[in-house]
């Protein structure tokens, strides 16, 4: 590869929601920025997690120098354990981000001690030909940074996720000055968050939810049950403060809520007023008007504390008539059914359920809207621009927002998708080929259980067309088939309408067995595959359906 060019390759998160990961390459040096996961969409049946495919990084393993993290949301760190299980590279991020990474690593057995290096905003880091400065940004989470990466061909700014919050709850302002300084000196490439590129105006400050919650606290006559993302430290701080002001004790409930608040507290990012906390087991014997329950499970996750509370299956806490439940979170598309089912259960128990869009808001987004995106574009004034973090329509809207910069030095905007390689020199940039990208599906939260594509295909067939089991009995001594094969089916419509279809299918299987050689018959793997193929051909021809076919061979 030519050494005087910079290659910028998104490996995930462009043209798709979540799973953010990007590679920067100069010569024999590769930097990885973020390593996130994605929550599965509906077509990935029964899969729990979706991770990026690291094929490109594995092929170039000896050149990968470090992983740099912008912040601790799952779509940026969720695949760190999987990446570290493939590559032993140093990881850099703020202390809070790394603490969340460690929490994930605890669930996974790495064969070595990973090297995690905490960094602070304004800190400079040198890795090979890259000089990296961390710039504090505001977002729905604490301790988030953008990256200014000085390379031999010019400066690359990666915003991470951000909104421009003029009144952040922790008073840590977006460091627009440093961003503007880079803009003044000249930026080759800007990579900027596009999540809300289709939202006009400005995103509300994290403080904007306070009036709504003051109102909720004012009116609530019984228990207050409040749920938000466990990583929303700003939101949790607000609930602790309001509870203190209104004379309520707080119980923190749910595994992730407990561990993330402990991490934030230990790093000095969350102030817990003295004596405000009570244990979950003390909630029911404290007067209801004196209790706030902070609980995890905003997305209706079936095993979450909030879901269990909804069906009165929580070890310590019950919902009672007159309790107020407030969801201070966004309803992630795809989760509507689960969330609404949970809210229905709670309403049935007589709780007043508050969620969705309200004015004043009960939840605000963590991503900048159009005017904020414009502000960052105007401050950075890049020569080249690549919208990142978003589906194609959002990337394309964001690209349009940069058009007016043509007169201020913008040469070109590139709409990249995951896998596209952008090659930059000081005076030029062009798309140059693609690298392999893809998804890895994982079951039940364990990084060990990578679900093959074939499993997903099987699950789709099962759900659409059911299952067909041809059962073949072979005599252990003679190796002969004793009786006509049986066929059992479930959820396969054509088999249940009383036609002769099943009878005919049995004949098809019998014929396959008869026409097989003795050698084939002794190899059950081969026999199963032959039976499956012949039966499939028959079923597709007769019914145009594709049920899952699983031959079973029994020795009798």
Residues annotated as catalytic are 193, 367
Nearer to Zn ion, 73 or 235 (CB): 73
Token pair listed for 442 = 């994982």
Distance CA 91, CA 110 (A): 14
In the complex, the smallest distance separating the C-beta of residue 452 from Zn ion, rounded to whole angstroms, is 28
Which range, of 69-77, 431-439, 448-456, 467-475, touches Zn ion by CB under 5 A? 69-77
Residue closer to Zn ion by CB (options 368, 382) is: 368
Region of 66-74, 250-258, 299-307, 511-519 interacting with Zn ion (CB under 5 A) = 66-74
Query: For residues 370 and 197, is the Cβ–Cβ distance under 8 A?
Result: yes
User: Residue 432 Cβ, how far from Zn ion at the closest point, in Å?
Assistant: 27
Q: How far is the CB of 61 from Zn ion (least distance, A)?
A: 26
Residue with tokens 């990973």: 114
Cis check for the bond before 360: say yes or no (omega within 30 of 0). yes
Residue 339 CB partners (closer than 8 Å, separation 6+) = 298, 299, 300, 327, 331, 355
Pick the closer one to Zn ion by CB: 232 or 304. 232
SS3 per-residue string spanning 3-49: CCCEEEEEEECECECCCCEEEEEECCEEEEEEECCECCCCCCCCCCE
The residue behind tokens 């359906």 is 545
For Zn ion, give the closer residue by CB, 16 or 161: 161
Question: How many other β-carbons are positioned within 10 Å of the β-carbon of residue 188?
Answer: 23
**Torsion angles phi and psi, residue 417, rounded to 5:** -120, 165
The contact mask relative to Zn ion for 150-189 (x = CB under 5 A, - = no) is -----------x----------------------------
What is the enclosing helix (H) or strand (E) of 392? helix 392-401
What CA–CA distance (Å, rounded) separates 116 from 422?
Answer: 29
Q: How far is the CB of 389 from Zn ion (least distance, A)?
A: 6
The residues pairing with 29 across neighbouring beta strands, listed in sequence order, are: 26
Task: Please state the closest distance from residue 395 (CB atom) to Zn ion, in A.
Answer: 14
Decide: 413 and 386 in contact? Cβ < 8 Å: yes
Beta bridge partners of 450: 442
Q: Nearer Cβ to Zn ion, position 390 or 485?
A: 390
Distance of CA 4 to the CA centre of its chain: 35
Q: Which backbone phi and psi does 413 adopt, to 5 degrees?
A: -110, 135
Of the pair 73, 461, the CB lying nearest Zn ion is at: 73
* Separation of alpha carbons 456 and 444, rounded Å: 14
Which one, 165 or 423, has the nearer CB to Zn ion?
Answer: 165
163 vs 532 by CB, closer to Zn ion: 163
Interacting residue with Zn ion among 75, 165, 175, 465 (CB under 5 A): 75
Distance from CA of residue 325 to its chain's centroid? 25
Question: Pairing state of beta strands 224-227 and 420-425?
Answer: unpaired
Residue 172: strand, helix, or coil? coil
The rounded distance, in Å, linking the Cα atoms of 352 and 407 is: 54
Report the nearest approach of Zn ion to the CB of residue 253 (Å): 24
User: Which residues is 470 bridged to in the sheet?
Assistant: 487
At its nearest, how many Å lie between Zn ion and the CB of residue 76? 6
Q: What is the size of the binding site for Zn ion (CB under 5 A)?
A: 3
* Dist CA 498 CA 260 (whole Å): 57
- Taking the complex as a whole, the smallest distance from the CB of residue 97 to Zn ion amounts, in Å, to 11
Minimal distance, residue 195 CB to Zn ion, in Å: 7
Cβ distance to Zn ion smaller for residue 144 or 531: 144
Residue 176 DSSP symbol: H
Helix-, strand-, coil-residue percentages of the chain, each rounded to 5: 35, 25, 40
Q: What is the CA radius of gyration of the chain?
A: 28
Between 75 and 465, whose beta carbon lies closer to Zn ion?
75
Closest CA to 551 of 533, 543, 539: 533
Q: Does 73 participate in binding Zn ion (rule CB under 5 A)?
A: yes
Element (H, E) at 103: helix 95-106
With contacts defined by CB under 5 A, name the span among 73-81, 311-319, 405-413, 532-540 that binds Zn ion. Answer: 73-81
Shortest Å distance, C-beta 1 to Zn ion: 30
Torsion of CA 58, 63, 69, 73, to 10 degrees: -10
Query: How far is C-alpha 409 from the chain's CA centre?
Result: 35
List residues near Zn ion by CB under 5 A.
73, 75, 161
């Amino acid at each position: 590869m030519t050494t005087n060019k910079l290659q910028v390759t998104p490996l995930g998160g462009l043209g798709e929601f979540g799973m953010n990961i990007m590679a920067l390459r100069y010569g024999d040096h590769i930097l990885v920025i973020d390593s996130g996961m994605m929550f599965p969409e509906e077509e990935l049946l029964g899969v729990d997690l979706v991770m990026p495919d690291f094929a490109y990084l594995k092929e170039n393993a000896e050149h990968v120098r470090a992983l740099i993290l912008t912040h601790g949301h799952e779509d940026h760190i969720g695949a760190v354990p999987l990446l570290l299980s493939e590559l032993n590279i140093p990881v850099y991020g703020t202390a809070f981000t790394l603490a969340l990474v460690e929490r994930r690593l605890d669930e996974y057995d790495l064969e070595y001690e990973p090297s995690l290096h905490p960094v602070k905003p304004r800190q400079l880091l040198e890795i090979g030909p890259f000089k990296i400065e961390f710039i504090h940004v505001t977002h729905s989470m604490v301790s988030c940074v953008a990256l200014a990466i000085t390379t031999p061909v010019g400066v690359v700014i990666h915003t991470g996720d951000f909104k421009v919050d003029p009144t952040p709850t922790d008073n840590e302002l977006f460091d627009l000055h440093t961003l503007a300084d880079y803009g003044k000196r000249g930026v080759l490439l800007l990579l900027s968050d596009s999540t809300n590129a289709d939202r006009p105006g400005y995103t509300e400050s994290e403080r904007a939810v306070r009036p709504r919650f003051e109102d909720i606290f004012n009116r609530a006559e019984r228990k207050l049950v409040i749920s938000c993302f466990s990583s929303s430290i700003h939101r949790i701080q607000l609930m602790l403060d309001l509870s203190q002001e209104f004379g309520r004790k707080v119980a923190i409930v749910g595994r992730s809520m407990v561990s993330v608040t402990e991490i934030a507290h230990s790093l000095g990012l969350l102030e817990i007023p003295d004596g405000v906390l009570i244990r979950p087991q003390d909630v029911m014997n404290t007067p209801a008007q004196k209790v706030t329950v902070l609980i995890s499970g905003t997305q209706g996750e079936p095993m979450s504390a909030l879901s269990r509370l909804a069906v009165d299956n929580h070890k310590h806490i019950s919902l009672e008539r007159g309790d107020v439940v407030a969801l201070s979170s966004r309803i992630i598309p795809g989760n509507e059914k689960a969330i609404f089912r949970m809210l229905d259960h709670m309403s049935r128990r007589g709780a007043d359920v508050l969620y969705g869009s309200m004015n004043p808001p009960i939840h605000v987004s963590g991503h900048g809207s159009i005017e904020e995106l414009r502000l960052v574009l105007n401050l950075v004034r890049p020569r080249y621009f690549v919208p990142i973090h978003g589906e194609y329509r959002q990337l394309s809207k964001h690209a349009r927002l940069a058009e007016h910069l043509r007169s201020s030095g913008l040469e070109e905007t590139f709409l990249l998708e995951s896998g596209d390689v952008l090659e930059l020199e000081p005076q030029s940039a062009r798309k140059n080929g693609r690298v392999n990208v893809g998804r890895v599906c994982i079951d039940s939260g364990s990084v060990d259980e990578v679900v093959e594509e074939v499993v997903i295909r099987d699950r789709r067939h099962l759900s659409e067309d059911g299952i067909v089991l041809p059962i073949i009995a072979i005599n252990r001594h003679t190796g002969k088939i004793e009786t006509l094969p049986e066929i059992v089916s479930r959820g396969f419509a054509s088999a249940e309408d009383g036609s002769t279809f099943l009878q005919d299918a049995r004949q098809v299987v019998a014929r396959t067995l008869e026409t097989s050689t003795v050698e084939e018959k002794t190899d059950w793997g081969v026999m199963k595959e032959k039976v499956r193929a012949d039966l499939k051909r028959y079923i597709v021809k007769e019914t145009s359906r594709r049920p899952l076919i699983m031959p079973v061979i029994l020795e009798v």
